[in-house]
Amino acid sequence: MTTKDYQEVAPQIPHEPGVYRFIDEKDTVIYVGKAKNLKKRLSSYFGEKKHQQFKTKALVRNAVKFEYTIVETEHDALLLENTLIKKFMPRYNVMLKDGKTYAYIVVKKERFPRVFFTRRVFKDGSTYFGPYTSKHRANIILDIIKKLFKLRTCNLNLTEKNVDEGKFKVCLEYHIKNCLGPCVGFESQEAYDEKIRQVKNILKGQISPVRDWLKSKIQECAEKLEFEEAQYYKERLDTLTDYQSKSTVVNTSIKDSDVFSIRVEEEMAYVSYLKIINGALVNSDNLELKMNLNDDPDDLLVFSINYLREKFNSISPEVILSKRITLIDNVQVTVPQRGDKKHLLDLAEKNLKYYMLQKRKESINSIKKQTPAERILKTMQEDLQMDELPFHIECFDNSNIQGSDPVASCVVFKNAKPSKKDYRKFNIKTVVGPDDFASMKEVVARRYKRLKEEKQPLPQLIIIDGGKGQLSAAYEIIKDLGLDGKITLIGIAKRLEEIYFPGDSIPLYINKKSETLKLIQHLRNEAHRFAITFHRDQRSKNALGTELTNIQGIGEKISTDLLRHFGSVKRVKDASAENIEIHFGKGIAKKIKNYFEEE
């Protein structure tokens, strides 16, 4: 979308809060953003700002239109933006790198619910607790639940109306040690459901209600003089107390709260999360976000808070942060300066620091494991904002001297190395005079029309040795062949090593020491060398036989044979018809003598 396109619709854009969407030619939403003032925000994409990031330019270049929705408040804009990002997953919005598989503890929706570990979540009405970032922690909790309560673990679903003698024996033999037999009537539905309620309390991190329930059972048994049963519940209470003392308790005066910390580093953002229930740290997680545009850290933090609270089913009324921001949900934002809550915030920041150090180390190790070619191509993919790794690259160059003997070359690199068997030479056939633009059109059309017809693999990247003019000429052909969007096309201008994209007048400047630029220069220089060599060969051949090949019916082969036999064009001219006829035949001799006589 050009600035001119924007200026045509700009007068209708209101100075109101809202959400805008950039849409590409395939009618796909590629970016969703919010604004306090739609007019000001959208105009920032189409101004003359030299400092605009390349990614922002790429977004505007790939968009063919935008749409917007006006809302009442900035809160509404934030809510709608969140919803649309989840719905469309736009390519230029923040990318959440969260492909981990987590552990859950599920309470199945059954008459006598089972409680067990799982990594898969089904929408079957069951209650899932988690996710737990550590399977070890999930297993500890499950082990405590098994010690505290005898719950059903079998797949049998026996009722009083459905007691089969064979199944009854199976239940007694294999499961009576683990449960009290509710399926066969040995335990009431009410008693079993009460245990499940207490299990859910433990899984929510609410230990106090479970402790109170166990104390009430001890008191109840003691009043009935059921001392063995009272001892049974006393042992469970001790087990629960021991578990609670070993769990990470921050401060019992702190109720339910969520703690978040964020750090932004180059194009990445990292968020640390601590979930506090009744003063105990019950869960933690870290998020890694890749920023595709110049996102504001506050917006990234709001996105992360909403995502993590939803993911961990948090309904905590308080969020602890290092600075005050506006949240969608009706929650209290606390910015502690001292005390236990400040210690919690420091703990989250400490976790984040070590998480980032770990990520850097993993990144360094990953780079070490990569081959040099993989590293270079990955860097090039990121620098040029390509969807695919540029394994197959082709580069074109023209060569002529004032329009004489025009030729072109196409060099091919695969896996960042020259693939010389795939190099191609082109004699310019349809262009008269020194016209580099038309020559580039011809060779690009011939090359990719043939590859399409023969169903040969196409390159991921095409490089044109030249400025905006030659790039535009090549782009016209790429569009005509229906390859626009399937292949990345760039041009490199020699003077300042500027990288141009079709339709974008502002060039991309890549660091002179970058491996991306070095590879592009290698391709450009190789294409230039190959074109120059081919041009010199053609010029030599033409110079060698210019006079003789001008004779109708005398080709390069006969011309070469004549020169080899007689030594020069002058000696051929001075030779008698009989002498030429003896070695080359009567027809050749007649053509040569007629030509020189007319001359």
We report the CATH number of the domain holding residue 324 as 3.30.70
Rounded average pLDDT over 502-509: 82
403 and 518 share one domain: yes
Establish if 192 belongs to a structural domain.
Answer: yes
Place of tokens 């090549």: 474
Model pLDDT, residue 518:
92
Mean pLDDT of the residues in the chain: 81
How many Å separate Cα 495 from the centre of its chain?
A: 33
Look up residue 469 and give its amino acid. Answer: G
404 in the same domain as 483:
yes
DSSP string spanning 96-162?
A: E------EEEEE--SSS--EEEES----SS-EEEEEES-HHHHHHHHHHHHHH-----SS----TT-
* The pLDDT of residue 119: 80
Query: Does residue 455 sit in helix, strand or coil?
Result: coil
Max mean pLDDT range (12-26, 288-302, 556-570)? 12-26
| Lowest mean pLDDT segment, chosen from 86-90, 240-244, 425-429 | 240-244
CB neighbour list of residue 579: distance below 8 Å, 6 or more residues apart = none
pLDDT tens-digit series, residues 381-439: 988 888 889 999 999 998 876 556 688 899 999 999 999 999 998 888 887 767 788 88
Specify whether 442 is located in the same domain as 576: no
Any residues with CB less than 8 A from the CB of 395 and at least 6 apart, and which? 410, 411, 413, 462, 463, 464, 465, 523, 524, 526, 527
Let me know if residue 250 belongs to a domain. no
Q: Quick check: is 341 in a domain? A: yes
Q: Treating both helix axes as pointing N-terminal to C-terminal, what angle do 297-311 and 74-88 enclose, rounded to 10 degrees?
A: 70
**For the chain, percent of residues with pLDDT exceeding 70:** 84
Amino acid letter, 425: K
Q: For residue 269, give the 3-state DSSP assignment.
A: strand
The residues facing 24 across adjacent strands are 63
Q: Do residues 551 and 537 share a domain?
A: no
Residue 1 has pLDDT above 70, yes or no: yes
Task: Please give the pLDDT value at position 246.
Answer: 52
For the sheet with 63-70, list strands across it: 29-35, 18-24, 63-70
CB 202 within 8 A of CB 115: no
Residue 194 falls inside a structural domain? yes
d(CA 320, CA 304): 14
The answer to whether residue 519 scores a pLDDT higher than 90 is yes
User: Are 352 and 412 members of one domain?
Assistant: no
Q: For residue 157, what pLDDT is reported?
A: 54
What domain count does the chain have? Answer: 5
User: Is 220 a member of any domain?
Assistant: no
**Looking at residue 546, what is its pLDDT?**
56
pLDDT at site 249: 46
* The token pair that represents 393 in the structure block: 């690259």
54 inside domain: yes
Same structural domain, 530 and 429: yes
> Any residues with CB less than 8 A from the CB of 97 and at least 6 apart, and which?
287, 288, 289, 290
Reading the block at residue 230, the tokens are 């009272």
Distance CA 189, CA 357 (A): 52
What CA–CA distance (Å, rounded) separates 582 from 184? Answer: 118
Residues 150 and 294 in one domain: no
| 280 located within any domain | yes
- Of 301, 331, 364, the residue that ends a domain is 364
Cβ neighbours around 228 below 10 Å, total = 7
Q: Given the DSSP bridges, would you call strands 268-277 and 332-334 parallel, antiparallel or unpaired?
A: unpaired
Predicted pLDDT of residue 592: 84
pLDDT for 442-458, tens place per residue? 999 999 999 999 889 99
The CA distance from 579 to 592, in Å, is 12
Pseudo-torsion of CA 170, 174, 177, 183, nearest 10°? -40
**Is the preceding omega at residue 457 within 30 degrees of 0, hence cis?**
no
For residue 158, pLDDT beyond 60: no
Same domain as 522, residue 388: yes
Pairwise pLDDT comparison (535 vs 423), residue with the higher score: 423
Residue 235 lies in a domain: no
Give the domain CATH number at 474: 3.30.420.340
Does 103 score more than 60 pLDDT? yes
The pLDDT of residue 474 = 92
Which of 346-350, 394-398, 539-543 shows the highest mean pLDDT?
Answer: 394-398
- Residue 162: pLDDT band by 50, 70, 90 thresholds? very low
Distance spanning both ends of the chain, measured CA to CA: 62
Q: What is the pLDDT, as a whole number, of residue 357?
A: 81
Residue 116 pLDDT level (bands cut at 50, 70, 90): confident
Rounded Cα gap, residues 103 and 118, in angstroms = 6
Enumerate residues 6+ apart whose C-beta is below 8 A from 490: 384, 461, 462, 463, 464, 471, 499, 500, 501, 520
Between 463 and 282, whose confidence is greater? 463
Task: Please say which residue of 541, 568, 583 terminates a domain.
Answer: 541
Containing structural domain, residue 53:
3-92
* Residue where a domain stops, chosen among 364, 397, 421: 364
pLDDT for position 404: 62
Exposure of 424 by Cβ count < 10 A (0-12 exposed, 13-18 middle, 19+ buried)?
middle
What DSSP line would sit under 544-569, residue for residue? Answer: HTHHHHTSTT--HHHHHHHHHHHSSH
Q: How far apart are CA 556 and CA 543, in angstroms?
A: 11
Query: In this structure, are 12 and 80 located in the same domain?
Result: yes
408 and 288 in a single domain? The answer is: no
Are 409 and 483 part of one and the same domain?
A: yes
pLDDT for the residue numbered 95: 65
- Which one-letter amino acid corresponds to residue 355? Y
pLDDT of residue 51: 42
Contact 576, 567 (CB under 8 A): no
CATH number at residue 32: 3.40.1440.10
Q: Highest mean pLDDT range out of 39-43, 272-276, 414-418, 483-487?
A: 414-418
Query: Do 386 and 461 share a structural domain?
Result: yes
Helix, strand, coil percentages in the chain from 3-state DSSP, rounded to 5: 45, 20, 35
Letter for the amino acid at 120?
R
pLDDT at 419: 92
Q: Across 105-109, 130-134, 367-371, which has the greatest mean pLDDT? A: 105-109
